[in-house]
Amino acid sequence: MAATIKDVARRAKVSVASVSRLVNGTGNVRPKSAERIRRAIEELGFRPNAVGRSLKMASTRAIGVVVPSISNPVFADALAGINEEIRAAGYNLMLTVTDYDAANEASAVGALMGHQVDGLILTVADPDDCASLDMLERAGVPYVLVYNQPGGKSRATISVDNVAAGGEVARTLAAFGHRSLGMISGSFEASDRARARQAGFVDETVASGLHAPVICEVDFIDGDIEQVIAGLYRSDGKTPTALFCSNDLLAISVIGALRRCNLKVPEDVSVIGFDGISAGTHLSPTLTTVVQPSREMGRLAASQLLGHLNGQEAPHTTLLPHHLRLGESAGQAPQPVPADLQDNSQPVQKRNLAR
């Protein structure tokens, strides 16, 4: 089997980008590294023409970006940071969207590789089991993840600690006196972030001495929030007095659906989102949410990738701090109605939701 550019990089103990720069004459390589690369090329019998598309013959000065959606402002914020950084370095951005469909990831990445981008910044469905990332690694194309939080594989990412953030939401709601919690989440299959937030939320809820929260999963694109909320609060059982939503767009939709079911936020049900999009501060009630520094995450991902392309250290995982921004949508748990004031013939929740 013919030696590949990755074989050369491994033998010379340098990055694939360094081998590519030396072979193609597209950038500077430290003298000691260059000598090791030349020795590895000779020992392995490496021939650049044999690697085909995995070895670009010239820099295109383009960075590919793959995100699940541009309708969610959180990704637009990251894109702003990415674009700011790469434009300042003289690169252009090539964007593609997967609509939260893992099957679209491979074709999106393949298309960007076809345009011979110098590197990629991506948000994928599952960073631990991702054919697209495997393909990039085989081809020696550098990349950095943003928002993802790999658990098993060592893949560079810029993110926040989603598990810890989910736990903080549970502790906050418990401190507000809520004893029955729920979570409305986008598809776990389409988002490792949603899975991580759920894990932290559930673990901390149980650790607080409460029953495990009710979990309702919806599609990111076509989720029927109205049906989910109506079904959840039509139940005769104990319904959640607080809901954690896996992103802010879901939280905004949930608040609207609760209102249409004649439930007040936060008097009847508290709601907490995740992302910290600016629209949440303009709502009534203003949204309580976990804020992640999306623009800075995008900027840092681009900075690490560009540094690697210029011969600096390989991208590495960085978890940036998050914080819980308190708004009006979350508050103290509602007090139970005294028995002598209850209308037992017509329970409040069932009356409000029966339409």
If asked whether residues 268 and 283 sit together in one domain, one would say yes
The band of 79, judged by pLDDT with boundaries at 50, 70 and 90, is very high
191, 188, 241: which is closest to 214 by C-alpha? 241
Quote the distance between the C-alpha of residue 29 and its chain's center: 34
Residue 53 has pLDDT above 50, yes or no: no
If asked whether residues 222 and 288 sit together in one domain, one would say yes
Q: Which residue has the higher pLDDT, 52 or 202?
A: 202
Other Cβ atoms within 10 Å of 344 Cβ, number: 6
If asked whether residues 205 and 278 sit together in one domain, one would say yes
Give the whole-angstrom CA distance, residue 224 versus residue 235: 18
Is 81 inside any structural domain? yes
How many domains, in total, are found in the chain? 3
CATH of the domain at 136: 3.40.50.2300
If asked whether residues 310 and 245 sit together in one domain, one would say no
Report pLDDT for 236.
60
In tens, the pLDDT along 259-284 reads 999 999 999 999 999 999 999 999 99
If asked whether residues 166 and 132 sit together in one domain, one would say no
In tens, the pLDDT along 64-78 reads 999 999 999 999 999
Report pLDDT for 24.
60
Residue 302 has pLDDT above 60, yes or no: yes
Cβ 296 vs Cβ 309: under 8 Å? no
Residue-number span of the structural domain to which 144 is assigned: 62-155+294-319
The band of 349, judged by pLDDT with boundaries at 50, 70 and 90, is very low
Is 48 inside any structural domain? yes
In tens, the pLDDT along 137-169 reads 988 899 999 999 998 788 999 999 999 999 999
Is 130 inside any structural domain? yes
Confidence (pTM): 0.79
If asked whether residues 213 and 144 sit together in one domain, one would say no
Give the whole-angstrom CA distance, residue 251 versus residue 246: 8
If asked whether residues 11 and 115 sit together in one domain, one would say no
CATH of the domain at 33: 1.10.260.40
- Mean of per-residue pLDDT scores for the chain: 87
Is 340 inside any structural domain? no
